[in-house]
């Protein structure tokens, strides 16, 4: 006797209805939701790991990290601005572009929060409480002086916004170990139009009053975290632990 016949003979029916209705629309929707959730989770973790790798790559060297150096750009008031203008105070330097939809504004807002929090936390007797926020455009073809001037108005009142010729920007990014992908303008053409994408590193740097690299911060670092680290560094400087060549303090208004 075949198995199916034996089952009928014993009064046992195969649960066909149960088998055919296990994968319901609700179960399918749940499976899709779980899959999407896992995709977003792993994508976020991948970005965090990549960010940490970029920060480590910017910092790994023997002795003091070799980040920063001479540069010559133009600020939002169409005046020359060089690395010498940052000497004498701590500075937070971020590289981005004005057409960035969310990451750049978020990071610049965070920088502004840090600047205000550090100034508020320290007494007036500590001149180094004035941290200089700096924005460097990696998209000079679209970020003219007028464009960065308007853009800077949305952020901290002491923010210095910088742009310049493509080669000058590229040289500055190289000195700061910043990755960016905006294309150079074609020969004889000063612009590229509007139809292209820009990619870039998404962390900013703390530079000391001697213009030397201290730390890099990314999206995973909160304003409170960065503020505490900046305060710790200022405390070290005040104790003479990092004071190598003191420059006269130059606080830009």
Query: For residue 133, which of 117, 101, 156, 154 has the smallest C-alpha distance?
Result: 156
Query: For residue 229, which of 205, 253, 193 has the smallest C-alpha distance?
Result: 205
pLDDT tier, 252 (very low <50, low <70, confident <90, very high otherwise): very low
Which range, 152-156, 182-186, 240-244, has the best average confidence (pLDDT)? Answer: 152-156
Tell me which of 233 and 252 has the higher pLDDT.
233
Tell me which of 39 and 12 has the higher pLDDT.
39
- Whether residue 39 contacts residue 46, with contact meaning beta carbons closer than 8 Å, is answered with no
Count of Cβ atoms closer than 10 Å to residue 109 Cβ: 14
Rounded Cα distance, 147 and 75, in Å: 11
Alpha-carbon dihedral sign for residues 227, 232, 238, 240: negative
- pTM for the model stands at 0.68
Average pLDDT, the chain: 77
What is the per-residue DSSP string for the chain? --HHHHHHHTT----HHHHHTSS-HHHHHHHHHHHHHHHHHHHHHHHHHHHHHHHHHHH-SSSS-------EEEETTS-EEEGGGGTTS-EEEEEE-TT--SHHHHHHHHHHHHHHHHHHHS-TT-GGG--EEEEEES-TTT--HHHHHHHHTTS-TT-EEEE--HHHHHHHHHHTT--B-PPPPPTT-S---S-----B---EEEE-TTS-EEEEE-TTS-HHHHHHHHHHHHHHHHTTSS-SSPPPP----
Report pLDDT digits (tens) over 28-41: 667 777 676 666 65
Tell me which of 134 and 33 has the higher pLDDT.
134
Backbone angles phi, psi at 161, to 5 degrees: -105, 135
* pLDDT on residue 56: 47
Q: Which residue has the tokens 């911060």?
A: 217
Rounded Cα distance, 158 and 147, in Å: 17
Return all residues near 21 (Cβ < 8 A) that are at least 6 apart: none
What is the phi-psi region of residue 90: left when phi exceeds 0, alpha when psi lies from -120 to 50, beta otherwise? beta
């Amino acid at each position: 006797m075949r198995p199916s016949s034996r089952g009928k003979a014993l009064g046992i029916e195969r649960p066909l209805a149960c088998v055919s209705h296990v994968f319901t629309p609700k179960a399918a929707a749940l499976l899709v939701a779980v899959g999407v959730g896992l995709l977003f989770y792993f994508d976020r973790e991948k970005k965090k790991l990549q960010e940490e790798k970029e920060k480590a790559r910017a910092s790994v060297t023997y002795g003091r990290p070799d980040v920063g150096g001479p540069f010559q750009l133009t600020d939002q008031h169409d005046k020359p601005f060089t690395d010498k203008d940052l000497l004498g105070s701590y500075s937070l330097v971020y590289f981005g572009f004005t057409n960035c939809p969310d990451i750049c504004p978020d990071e610049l807002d965070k920088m502004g929060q840090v600047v205000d929090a550090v100034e508020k936390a320290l007494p007036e007797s500590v001149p180094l409480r004035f941290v200089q926020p700096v924005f460097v455009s990696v998209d000079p073809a679209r970020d003219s002086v007028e464009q960065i001037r308007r853009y800077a108005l949305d952020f901290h009142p002491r923010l210095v916004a910088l742009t310049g010729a493509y080669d000058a920007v590229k040289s500055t990014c190289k000195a700061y170990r910043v990755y960016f992908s905006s294309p150079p303008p074609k020969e004889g053409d000063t612009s590229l139009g509007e139809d292209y994408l820009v990619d870039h590193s998404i962390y900013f740097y703390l530079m000391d009053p001697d213009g030397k690299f201290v730390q890099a911060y990314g999206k995973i670092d909160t304003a409170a975290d960065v503020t505490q680290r900046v305060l710790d560094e200022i405390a070290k400087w005040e104790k003479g632990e990092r004071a190598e060549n003191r420059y006269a303090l130059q606080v830009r208004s």
